[in-house]
Amino acid sequence: MGRLIKNHWARLIILTAAAYQIGSAIEGFIWPKVFWDFMTKNLNGAVKPIPVLQILNLLMGLLGLAWEWPLKYFAGTLPHRSIEFRLILYPLSSLLSMLLYQGTDPAIYYIVGIGVYFWAYSEGEIVCPIPWTLPKRNSLKV
């Protein structure tokens, strides 16, 4: 059996959460509701009449997708290679997702993904090495 590469597993979890967050933000435009409105009505201004929370969820979901399935110009850059940046950004995405009624499931996925990324970080895993530090494939001549 091979080793579990935890940052790849976390990447798939975060990709799922980001895609789900985009869907919940779009659904939030149609049915605006704050998850915590059973306790207080103070947060209702974040979803209507101006959909601030939905827009922020949509942007964070798109950023999560662009980060985990990197665009050509983003792949290999310092933020893309850094687990630390991910451990800073994804709790914010999870918090924004928790506030929206439709986004409670992606918030749970984000929390699980953050936990797995932290596990990978604590074991010293790296997301992707710098290309010029990789060994050449045809270096062995037989």
Least confident window among 5-14, 26-35, 48-57, 131-140: 131-140
> What is the model's pLDDT at position 134?
53
pLDDT tens column, 98-108: 989 899 999 99
Report CA 117 to chain centroid distance, whole Å: 11
Joined together, the tokens standing for residue 71 give 């665009």
Query: d(Cα 127, Cα 9) in Å, to the nearest integer?
Result: 11
Taking a C-beta distance cutoff of 8 angstroms, is the pair 129, 78 a contact? no
pLDDT for the residue 138? 59
Residue 40 is predicted with a pLDDT of: 77
Encoding tokens for residue 130? 């710098």
pLDDT digits (tens, 9 = 90+) for 130-139: 655 555 665 5
**Closest by alpha carbon to 80, among 92, 94, 90, 66?**
66
Nearest CA to 78 among 134, 126, 6? 126
pTM confidence score: 0.84
